A and B are shown apart, each in its own frame.
Chain A
Amino acid sequence: MTHVGYLIAGWSISVAAVVAYAGWVLVRGRSLSRRVPENRRRWMMPDD
């Protein structure tokens, strides 16, 4: 396989950036969720 260094760099940077961003959003979402009462988090509500 040629250009292994470039391939590893390109793919791993992309994956790392997306994972880091997604992790940040999820963690932030969790901490914010705890501060909001359940009845204001509509997407977790059972069908009514």
Chain B
Amino acid sequence: MFRDAWLIAGKDLRIEMRSRVGLNQIVPFAVTVLVLFAFALDTDQEALRTYAPGLFWVTVLLASLLAIGRSFAVDLADGAADRLLLSGIDPISVFGGKAAAIAVQLVVLEVLLGAGVVLLFDVTVHRYGLLVCAGLAAAAGVATAGTLYGALVAGLGVRETLLPLLLLPVVAPVLIGATRAFQDAFGVAGAEGWAWLGLLAGFAAIYGVFGALSYGALLEEA
């Protein structure tokens, strides 16, 4: 099971490294969104610093929609999705593999965007441990929920517009939790960062289990 998940994740990541869609399109898109936020907030350095955590996570969520959509588009492009069904790989492994690949991409995105936030919005990090853990847990949560919803809308023909509508309300708790944790880590508000980390981890766990259990039912048909 883990071997197959590893195989799927490796395949997805290798494709992303080769195609460079993430590096050439998704990351620039995310940075553009950050810059637009700065314009919208009228170069008020203090406001930017205060809202940096929220802006950061809104940006990550928007960019994650692209990464999730792409993960499924790659399989659907030339019939590989059918072959995956025919390969006999356990759906749980497919779910795990795809979610892991998306999570890795999100972590890379977070690192790059985090650097952007530190540079552009002039924030200072106070608690590195919390920052790293919250980043990882949030990436896992978005990746598991995103993979589940990506599969839900894959092949329905309208996924580009449907995925945001379905996924964004569902990941709202991640936005709340991750923003609070980052506020604590950046020292802009005295939130209980570690408690919020618990929420993020719980979210990832629930969607991980739920996705793994229902993925087979979703893939059963063609």
**So, do A and B actually touch in the complex, CB under 8 Å?**
no
Taking beta carbons and an 8 Å cutoff, which residues of A are in contact with B? none
